[in-house]
Structure formats: C-alpha cells, structure tokens
Amino acid sequence: MRTERSVHRTILPLLVVASLPLILGLVFGAFGHVRTDGGDREHSAESVSLPTQSGESDVSVEEAIANRRSRREYGEEALSRRELGQLLWAAQGVTEGTTGYRAAPSAGALYPLEVYVVVGTPGVDDLEKGIYHYRPENHELTRRKIGTVQSELRAAGVDQEPIGEAAIDIVVCAVDERATGKYGERGRKRYVPMEAGHAGENLYLQAEALGLATVSIGAFSDDHVRDVLGIPTSQRPLYIFPVGGRT
C-alpha cells in the first residue's frame, strides 16, 4: 500500500507542471503583451482613439470605381480624424466584432498585414506629426514616434514627390510568417501580396468616396522604410499610399 509520503512525491511534481502556464503568463504579463508572430511590441505606447466609421457616403460604389484615379498632387488642408479613421477602417478595420473579420479579405482569416501612418504636413487635425500604428481591434492608433519624418520616408521612396507632399502616408507592411505557418511559401508569395492588393483597392475607393487624393507606391527601399518606421525585419513593407486633399 502506498504511503502518504509517496503520494505527495507523485502529486507535487504534477501540480508544478500544471501550474507552469499560469506562472509564465503572470511573469510575461508583468512585462506587457509579448507577440511571437513577428508583430511589434507596443505595450507602453500611448493610444489615440479614432472616430467610429460613419458607414455613410453620398458616393456609390459604382461611382467610386468609375472615378478612381491615381492622384499625385495634394491640397494644403489637413485631413480630419474622421477621414483618417475611415481610411484605416477601409484598409484593415474590423467589420464583425464577434469573429474579428476585417474590411479586406484574408486567406484563412490570418490577417498578416500591419498598417502604419506617417503624419506630415499639412497632417491631421489635432494629431501631432510623427509615426503611428493602426490597431484594428480597438480602431485606434498607437504613437511610435513624434516629430517630422516625412522627408525621411520620401528619401526611402527614391525621392518620390507625392510621399513628401501629402498630408499623410499610409504604409502597408506584412508579417509573412502569419501566413506561411499555414500555407508555406504560397502564403508569402501569393496570399500576402493578394491581401495587400485588396486593402490597397479599399483605400483607393474610400479616398474617392471622401473626395481625397491618393496613389499607390511600390518603389522604395524596404530596409530604409523599416528604419524610418522602426519596425523589425520580420515585417515586409509592401505599399506606401500618400493621401491628401484634392487640388
């Protein structure tokens, strides 16, 4: 018959092993949210709320498609926070809270895209110049850097004028490993670029509906863009969208 001491010797190690996830969770929780999928850590960044998307427009989908153009000249007026929020929601915003589905389709609903905003001149009303990261789950921005960096982004984009003259630049990046974990190299080579295209067209059409101007830019130094944004090598820049008012 087993003694009480032998029972304790058997049970105690099992209790320690079973408690490890809780212990690790508490330890990592003390240091903020830790991501293991190539995303960035922003547990200490200040959040900036965005207005709820309006869901209303005087421009039909058919009109927006017919009138969509690449526009490389911009007005001198700042964008409103509502316009900025609407643009970001169209690119990657959550459209169904219970599932987390977003405005642009994603293979396997894996959502490998990360969206950043470089606020320049004339910028956005009541928003400091600098670099921001869009957080779709809460429809908010997190500040990454305050200050004028638009000229640096323009230099990364082989000195293309629209990048430096728009009110803002929206940069679409990808964390490929979110897709390759399920789809392998096909995820990186096909599904991720396809998703960026979906988000990009949404941006174009939303800009058209808001009476704004934008153009998609793909010619830039990936490493230089990463340096400007301060993001890790696990994120791949795919698009820069300068956005501003119409001239």
The average pLDDT across 117-137 equals: 98
Strand partners, 141: 48, 134
Q: Which of 38-42, 67-71, 243-247 has the lowest mean pLDDT?
A: 38-42
* Whole-number average pLDDT of the chain: 88
Q: Which of 33-42, 53-62, 100-109, 137-146 has the lowest mean pLDDT?
A: 33-42
- CB contact set of 195 (below 8 Å; sequence gap of 6+): 104, 105, 106, 107, 112, 113, 174
DSSP state of 79: B
Using the predicted structure, report yes or no on whether residue 15 has a pLDDT greater than 90. Answer: no
Neighbour-count burial for 69-88, b at 16+ CB within 10 Å, e otherwise: eebbebeeebbebbbbbbbb
The average pLDDT across 80-94 equals: 98
Strand partners, 135: 140
Locus of tokens 């709820």: 52
Using the predicted structure, report yes or no on whether residue 79 has a pLDDT greater than 90. Answer: yes
pLDDT band at residue 22 under the 50/70/90 scheme: very low
- How many other C-beta atoms are found inside a 10 Å radius of the C-beta of residue 33? 10
Neighbour-count burial for 207-225, b at 16+ CB within 10 Å, e otherwise: bbbbebbbbbbeebeeebb
Using the predicted structure, report yes or no on whether residue 12 has a pLDDT greater than 50. Answer: no
Q: What is the pLDDT of residues 177-229, one digit of tens each?
A: 999 999 999 999 999 999 999 999 999 999 999 999 999 999 999 999 999 99
Give the whole-number percent of the chain exceeding pLDDT 90: 79
Specify the pLDDT at position 240. Answer: 99
Specify the pLDDT at position 165. Answer: 98
Using the predicted structure, report yes or no on whether residue 1 has a pLDDT greater than 80. Answer: no
Using the predicted structure, report yes or no on whether residue 9 has a pLDDT greater than 80. Answer: no
Residue 142 belongs to what H/E stretch? strand 140-146
**What is d(CA 74, CA 212) in angstroms, rounded to the nearest whole number?**
9
Specify the pLDDT at position 29. Answer: 37
Q: Which domains does the chain have, with CATH numbers?
A: 1-31 (no CATH), 39-245 (3.40.109.10)
Give the residue among 113, 121, 226 at the shortest CA–CA distance from 163: 121
Using the predicted structure, report yes or no on whether residue 97 has a pLDDT greater than 70. Answer: yes
Q: Are 141 and 133 in contact (CB under 8 A)?
A: yes
